[in-house]
Amino acid sequence: MYCFLKDDFAGKILPQSALTELTTPPAGLFYAGGLYTSTDGQSYVGHGKMQGFEPTLFMDKNGQNAVILFSNRNDEARNKPLASRLFETIKAPETDEADDTTEESTN
Please write the tens of the pLDDT for every residue from 41-68: 889 898 888 888 899 999 998 889 999 9
- What was the pLDDT predicted at 94? 65
Residue 99 maps to a domain: no
Residue 72 maps to a domain: yes
Ramachandran category for residue 28: left, alpha or beta (phi over 0 → left; psi -120 to 50 → alpha): left
- What was the pLDDT predicted at 67? 96
Residue 81 maps to a domain: yes
Looking at the structure of the chain, the number of domains it has is 1
Residue 60 maps to a domain: yes
Residue 102 maps to a domain: no
Residue 96 maps to a domain: no
Residue 38 maps to a domain: yes
User: pTM (2 decimals)?
Assistant: 0.74
Which domain range does residue 56 map to?
1-91
Residue 17 maps to a domain: yes
